[in-house]
Each structure stands twice: as C-alpha cells, then as structure tokens.
C-alpha cells in the first residue's frame, strides 16, 4: 500500500484539522508515493527508535510527538535533529507524526477507558465541530467515580492501569476524590480546565513544584504519572488501529521504555 493511502486512512479517523494551531503533524519526512509494507510505531522519534525501525526494515515510522516542531534553517549530521532526519532519509523510512490531532480524536477517550471511567465529558473543547460527526471534541476527559476513593487509592489505580512503578502526587493522601480529570502529556495548561470542571484530582504529567502546590491551594489534587508514563498507551492503540484497518501491512512497536529512572 502506498504511504499516501495509509495517511488517508489515518487522517479519516484522526483529521489533521483537529490538531492545535501550534502543532506540527502529518508526513514530516519522506515520499508519499512510497510503498509501505511495514510500519513501526513509537512515542518519540529518538535515534534509538529510528535504528530499531531500520533494523526491522520499516517503510513508515509513526510517532506521537513530532521530531520537527518549528522551522529549521539547516539539516546537518552534526545537529541532533538534523542527524535523525538524515538517518530516516538514508534508510528510506517515511516519517509521520500524529500529535494533538490524536490527543483530541483518540487519546482523550482512550485514557478515560484505561482509567476505568464512564460517561466522561470533554475537559477542554478545542474542536467545536469535528469533521467526522460535527460534534465537539477536545483535550482530556472528566468523569465521576461511582463512589469516592482516597487520593492514595486513586494513585494506586493510576499505577495499576498504566503499569507504572510510581507516581508523583500533590495533595492529602487520605482526602476523598470522586470527580476525576485526566489529560495525558504535559498537563500544566489544563489546570484551569480541571478547576472549572470541579475536579477533585487531575491525572497528567510534567507538573512542576509551583503548579502542583498552587493546584492544591485551589482544592485540586494532582497525580503526575509522567509525560511518557500516561501517553505510552498511544503505541499499542495505534498498532491495534493499523492491524485492524490495514491488515496487509506488518506492524512493529517500540517497547515501553521510560526516559528517566527514579532511584
């Protein structure tokens, strides 16, 4: 199947028009007319991921986070982003990034399901009218548990459902929480949305000291499972999507590999 045909299938479910204005999604490197027999899926286009894609003879690399975010004046082997771009070209691997369009049209609902929430509402509407069904879509979800649990129990649930060894938590561990907001990735910008929604806790990643203590001061606990820790669900979800939608293409995935360790 041609790369452009695969892109058409992807963008039918995850339209690029649903991406946020600052984002950079779509085919970032390669030939849209390239024949694709194997796809490699990962969260980031690291040097290790690109080498792994080359080792399995992937024709197309699909990641969540874009390798190229802003304009580049040079593409050189002595600059780490340029080196990766050149390596993709040398290996004849097309490269596609699906970031906030996936967050809006996939990650929000997926994270709700993984967390075991029901009847969730959009945490922050970013796409008032989806090109698929005309309904509003957006970042994150907020939902009520059937019964309140302690913040400590909520933390354990996050660890269990996202297969995490640890989480960072701001708030009183014995405090009851019932309204749960979840926004995978960097959740600092979602604080106001969670407060507006009346959430008791926000499950997200990349929360710094001041954001955490300010949230608690306003009555919102934070469970930080890490940017990678929550968003790694993208990898298997997209593999499942390709295997169901394009069964003639072989799909390989990057192993879950957290980018830092706590010792």
- Locate the domains of the chain by residue range: 3-101+232-252, 102-230
Three-state DSSP state, 35: strand
DSSP letter assigned to residue 2: B
How is the beta sheet containing 176-186 ordered, strand by strand?
121-127, 137-150, 176-186, 201-205, 221-224, 168-170
- Give the β-pairing of 201-205 and 221-224: parallel
Residue 90 pLDDT level (bands cut at 50, 70, 90): very high
Cβ–Cβ contacts within 10 Å for residue 209, how many? 8
DSSP line for 121-135: EEEEEEESS-TTTS-
Nearest-10 Cα torsion for 36, 38, 41, 42: -100
Confidence at residue 197, expressed as pLDDT on a 0 to 100 scale: 98
| Mean predicted lDDT score pLDDT of the chain | 97
Reported pTM: 0.96
Looking at residue 157, what is its pLDDT? 97
Q: Render pLDDT for 147-176 as a digit per residue (tens, 0 to 9).
A: 999 999 999 999 999 999 999 999 999 999
Report DSSP letters for 159-219, one per residue: HHHTT-S--EEES-TTSEEEEEEEEEEE-GGGHHHHHHTT-SEEEEE---HHHHHHHHHTT
- In this predicted structure, the answer to whether residue 70 has a pLDDT above a threshold of 90 is no
Can you tell me the mean pLDDT for 90-115? 97
Domain 102-230 has CATH 3.40.50.2300: no
What CATH architecture is 3-101+232-252? 3-Layer(aba) Sandwich (3.40)
Note whether 3-101+232-252 and 102-230 share their fold: yes
pLDDT of residue 263: 87
Q: How many helices (H) and strands (E) does the chain have?
A: 10, 11
pLDDT at 118: 86
What mean pLDDT is predicted for residues 121-134? 95
List pLDDT tens digits, range 212-250. 999 999 999 999 999 999 999 999 999 999 999 999 999
Question: Does the pLDDT at position 31 exceed 90?
Answer: yes
Beta carbons of 234 and 254 less than 8 angstroms apart: no
Task: Considering only residues 261 and 215, tell me which one the structure prediction assigns the higher pLDDT.
Answer: 215
3-state secondary structure of 139: strand
Nearest to 84 by CA among 49, 135, 112, 108: 49
Task: Give pLDDT, residue 249.
Answer: 98
Question: Exposed, middle or buried: residue 99 (CB in 10 Å: 0-12, 13-18, 19+)?
Answer: buried
Query: Is the pLDDT assigned to residue 72 strictly greater than 90?
Result: no
Of 65-74, 191-200, 224-233, the poorest mean pLDDT is in 65-74
């Amino acid at each position: 199947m041609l790369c452009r045909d695969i892109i058409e299938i992807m963008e039918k479910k995850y339209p690029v028009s649903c991406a946020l204005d600052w984002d950079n999604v779509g085919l970032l490197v390669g030939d849209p007319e390239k024949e694709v027999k194997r796809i490699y899926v990962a969260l980031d286009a690291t040097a290790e991921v690109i080498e792994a894609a080359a080792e399995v003879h992937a024709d197309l690399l699909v990641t969540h986070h874009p390798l190229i975010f802003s304009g580049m004046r040079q593409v050189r082997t002595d600059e780490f982003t340029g080196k990766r771009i050149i390596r993709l070209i040398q290996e004849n691997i097309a490269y596609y990034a699906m970031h906030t369009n996936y967050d809006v049209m996939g990650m929000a609902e997926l994270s709700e399901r993984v967390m075991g929430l029901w009847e969730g509402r959009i945490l922050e509407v970013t796409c008032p009218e989806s090109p698929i069904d005309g309904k509003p879509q957006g970042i994150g979800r907020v939902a009520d548990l059937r019964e309140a649990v302690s913040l400590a129990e909520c933390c354990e649930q996050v660890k269990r459902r996202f297969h995490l060894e640890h989480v960072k938590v701001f708030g009183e561990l014995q405090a009851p929480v019932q309204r749960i907001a979840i926004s995978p990735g960097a959740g600092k910008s979602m604080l106001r949305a969670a407060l507006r929604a009346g959430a008791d806790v926000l499950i997200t990643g990349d929360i710094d000291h001041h954001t955490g203590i300010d949230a608690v001061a306003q009555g919102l606990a934070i469970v930080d499972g890490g940017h990678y820790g929550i968003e790694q669900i993208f990898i298997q979800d997209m593999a499942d999507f390709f295997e169901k939608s394009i069964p003639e293409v072989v799909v390989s995935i990057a192993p879950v590999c957290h980018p830092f360790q706590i010792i």
